[in-house]
């Protein structure tokens, strides 16, 4: 939601619950104690959407979430995402609703309290953040079995806190999962990982616009920058960190389109190398051209009723990809080579 939705008390609670990692760890432990070792709810065939920011991941998340068959973390779970079941029981009596509003990105996507969002990274930052987050960098990592076991428990708690019985599968959108794709697959062998991508220049231009937008906002509202940091959203704004998918540093300024093209190149080159073999790569421009055909295939693969494919495809009715601008240089050529490799794998 947009920042005006957070008053003084709400901001204070967010700062207390999401700020210090030891508080988050305590919250997670309390949820574990409250839930016990209930195994009546199985985590089966979860879906993890993990693409670089501005890849169309949110609209894809919404298209799958509207089926009503998936449980995702929503704004209603904030800030107690690490104790979703306990928080649901405590907050039921004080449930409030507000009209949907355009989200802070200014991209015409509307959100309300029940909109799914990328809050899963709170788990990783809280329980393992010191291993992959530094003052300036975020790095790929291979979390140990103990952390993966806790992640499995976390997902179990989220499903158990569902509102409707038919929400018996987990759905996640988390860009940072690109940093740990093999670990996600080891934790949930029957998971489907989806990696969306866009034309490299268009995605880089969108990332640069978001960096400018959030940098201006963060300069006037420190809470908005802290909020993104608590959620592990270091992609843009004044809290930006370098995503180090390789040993090489990014030599460009964040105000230069080349910075974002280099980031695109490194992220998707890494994804092609590390993504499990059955990962689904999705080109945004290609999806927009034939959304119903795509969702018929995806729903079939997910074991969903294909009758719902048309509704999922309707989320793309107003999606209009921009034509690629020719920019012939060495970096763009390298991105286009990666883009061609992505398109080769982008088939269900």
What single string gives the DSSP state of each residue in 285-328? HHHHHSHHHHHHHHHHHHT--GGGHHHHHGGGTT--PPPPPP--
Q: Is the pLDDT of residue 114 over 50?
A: yes
pTM across the whole model: 0.92
* Alpha-carbon span 91 to 94, nearest angstrom: 5
Tell me how many domains the chain contains.
1
pLDDT, tens digit, 9 for 90 and up, residues 253-268: 999 999 999 999 999 9
Q: Is the pLDDT of residue 231 over 50?
A: yes
pLDDT of 286: 92
Burial class (CB in 10 A: 0-12, 13-18, 19+), 190: exposed
Our measurement of the distance from residue 45's CA atom to the centroid of its chain's CA atoms, rounded to an integer in Å, reads 18
* Alpha-carbon span 68 to 199, nearest angstrom: 31
pLDDT, tens digit, 9 for 90 and up, residues 118-132: 999 999 999 999 999
Cβ–Cβ under 8 Å, residues 139 and 132: yes
Task: Provide the residue range defining the domain that includes 73.
Answer: 3-345
Q: 13 is written with which tokens?
A: 């609670």
Confidence of residue 1 (pLDDT cuts 50, 70, 90): very low
**306: CATH:** 3.40.50
Q: Cβ contacts of residue 268 below 8 Å, gap of 6+?
A: 52, 197, 338, 339, 342
pLDDT of 113: 84
Which residues are registered as beta bridge partners of 195?
Answer: 281
């Amino acid at each position: 939601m947009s920042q005006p939705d957070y008053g003084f008390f709400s901001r204070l609670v967010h700062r207390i619950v999401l700020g210090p990692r030891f508080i988050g760890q305590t919250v997670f432990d309390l949820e574990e104690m409250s839930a016990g070792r209930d195994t009546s709810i199985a985590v089966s065939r979860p879906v993890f959407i993990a693409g670089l920011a501005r890849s169309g991941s949110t609209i894809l998340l919404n298209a799958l979430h509207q089926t009503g068959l998936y449980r995702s973390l929503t704004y209603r779970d904030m800030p107690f995402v690490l104790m979703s079941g306990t928080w649901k029981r405590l907050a039921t009596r004080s449930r409030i609703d507000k009209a949907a509003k355009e989200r802070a990105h200014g991209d015409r996507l509307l959100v309300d309290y029940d909109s799914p969002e990328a809050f899963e990274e709170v788990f990783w930052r809280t329980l393992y953040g010191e291993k992959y987050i530094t003052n300036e960098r975020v790095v790929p990592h291979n979390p140990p079995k103990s952390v993966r076991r806790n992640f499995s428990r976390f997902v179990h708690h989220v499903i158990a806190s569902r509102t409707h019985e038919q929400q018996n599968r987990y759905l996640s959108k988390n860009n940072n999962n690109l940093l740990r794709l093999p670990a996600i697959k080891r934790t949930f062998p029957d998971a489907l990982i989806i990696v969306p991508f866009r034309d490299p220049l268009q995605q880089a231009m969108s990332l640069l616009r978001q960096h400018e937008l959030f940098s201006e906002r963060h300069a006037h509202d420190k809470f908005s920058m802290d909020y993104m940091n608590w959620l592990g959203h270091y992609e843009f704004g004044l809290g930006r960190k370098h995503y180090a998918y390789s040993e090489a540093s990014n030599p460009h300024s964040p105000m230069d389109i080349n910075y974002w093209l280099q980031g695109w190149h490194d992220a998707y080159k890494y994804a092609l190398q590390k993504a499990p073999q059955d990962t689904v790569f999705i080109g945004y421009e290609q999806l927009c051209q034939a959304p119903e055909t795509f969702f018929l295939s995806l729903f079939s693969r997910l074991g969903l009723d294909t009758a719902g494919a048309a509704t999922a495809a309707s989320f793309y009715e107003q999606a209009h990809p921009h034509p690629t601008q020719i920019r012939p240089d060495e970096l763009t050529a390298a991105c286009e080579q990666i883009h061609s490799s992505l398109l080769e794998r982008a088939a269900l």
